[in-house]
Structure 1
């Protein structure tokens, strides 16, 4: 999966990957206490927050802790009918009985890739952009394809009509902004 930043304001960004040197057991304990409504989970103690700008791309291979922040709208690109997202924390949202909404800590714990920490995330998942074409008509950039993903995304920037060869393959086009 990957996300593209569509709109954000103020301090919007993306939570992605675990911080270096966190205590796994303490994080799980804190998640369980938050699920019981005893504390508010301190996300930024455990998870990296990357500030973002419009059109940034973030890769999210399975098992990577992730979430968009408040004031951030994303386009999620995914073809994962066999991969599930397990919610670990729901930002103090409550159901009608006044308790936190049900989440999936036990399932999530089994799937977290604990080695996806700050340095790994920066090196592998944040804005990996490769220029494919830079001409008078348009700029085309490959915006990352992690070895664990199978959907490649390209970002086109142009102020005019452009034509592209699709090699008779399947292509999904999303207009994510105008300038």
Structure 2
């Protein structure tokens, strides 16, 4: 990512990571900098399977494996926020309560070696991909987005380590089966993320944290092992919602409605439109969100706890 510095007539684009390295406490906050150094720890991106197929069912390395095998100091916890979906669409998440892990392993190896289709739903749970639902995906949890979705992925920054159990026998440009990582995946599979608990712990109901006339802030997803949490601010009226970084950065994304004006107390205001993402540096401190348009607006916010 790049950052434009200067005015419209003479802007220079600088690498975002360079700015973080030079000003880590102003960007991330002292506490986050102490934990993560100059590695900005949260990323937002989109997974688009509209007019496509299911993504691979995979997991990400658990903390010890991530550091020992891949040399990364923190794990790739994720969340899925459904921008576009539907009750008829799917999200794969967590093991079934009756999953036989040894049989799952055997059939995943068979799919890799003999190109035999794997009935993944025998082992991995499926949830309706309802729009505006958040799913928590801690490292080690089997997961994947089904066809027909647009997912806002709010994740820890590492992105290279998707350990695939199964990729639907897809073939690459060289007409060979695309690589999967069965042994890595099963080394990291969290067999405790199983059964009915998955639908409670990883598909959490929104909890109101604070509210006023015409607005509320909800907690959508938070787990003890995940260092960040995801919230949502709902603006249903023309009111200014006061917020404050309190020394830790916020990342915002408009997930419904025309957008918001982000108005720091002592800095230029910024218009954030639908589906755009904005970093509010830790040094900003107090700021306001003002709704644009006359329809409800929802803004997702991620922060390091």
Confirm or deny a common fold (TM above 0.5): yes
Residue of structure 1 in register with 2:291 after alignment? none
Give the Cα–Cα distance (whole angstroms) in 1 for the partners of residues 138 and 87 of structure 2.
27
Q: Identify the match of residue 47 of structure 1 among 110, 118, 124.
A: 124
Give the Cα–Cα distance (whole angstroms) in 2 for the partners of residues 112 and 122 of structure 1.
18
Quote the offset at 1:9 in angstroms: 3.9
Residue of structure 1 in register with 2:31 after alignment? none
Residue of structure 1 in register with 2:183 after alignment? 106
Give the Cα–Cα distance (whole angstroms) in 2 for the partners of residues 62 and 87 of structure 1.
13
Give the Cα–Cα distance (whole angstroms) in 1 for the partners of residues 241 and 136 of structure 2.
27
Moved over 6 A (4+): none
Per-residue CA deviations over 1:112-137 (Å, capped at 9, x if unaligned) read 01121122212311123211123322
Q: Identify the match of residue 163 of structure 1 among 241, 247, 251.
A: 241
Residue of structure 1 in register with 2:225 after alignment? 148
Note if 1:65 corresponds to 2:142. Answer: yes
Q: How many pairs are equivalent? A: 179
Q: 1:164 to 1:100 in 2, by over 3 A?
A: farther
Q: Which has the higher contact order (CA 8 A, sep 6+)?
A: 1
Residue of structure 1 in register with 2:110 after alignment? 33
User: Is residue 215–residue 239 contact of structure 2 (8 Å, CA) maintained in 1?
Assistant: no
User: Is residue 36–residue 99 contact of structure 1 (8 Å, CA) maintained in 2?
Assistant: no
Per-residue CA deviations over 1:10-62 (Å, capped at 9, x if unaligned) read 62131100001221111111111111343111111111001131110111111
Per-residue CA deviations over 1:57-80 (Å, capped at 9, x if unaligned) read 111111111111111111111124
Moved more, 73-82 or 86-95: 73-82
Per-residue CA deviations over 1:85-113 (Å, capped at 9, x if unaligned) read 31111122112343320111110110001
Residue of structure 2 in register with 1:129 after alignment? 206
Q: Identify the match of residue 251 of structure 2 among 160, 172, 176.
A: 172
Which of these two proteins has the greater Rg computed from alpha carbons? 2
Listed as ranges, the gaps of 5+ residues in structure 1 are none
Residue of structure 1 in register with 2:171 after alignment? 94
Q: 1:127 to 1:83 in 2, by over 3 A?
A: farther
User: Is residue 144–residue 152 contact of structure 1 (8 Å, CA) maintained in 2?
Assistant: yes
Matching of residues 15-26 of structure 1 within 5 Å: 15-26=92-103
User: Is residue 11–residue 71 contact of structure 1 (8 Å, CA) maintained in 2?
Assistant: no
Q: 1:70 to 1:132 in 2, by over 3 A?
A: same
Give the Cα–Cα distance (whole angstroms) in 2 for the partners of residues 52 and 95 of structure 1.
28
Listed as ranges, the gaps of 5+ residues in structure 2 are 1-77, 258-295, 297-305
Instruction: Say which structure is richer in strand.
Output: 2
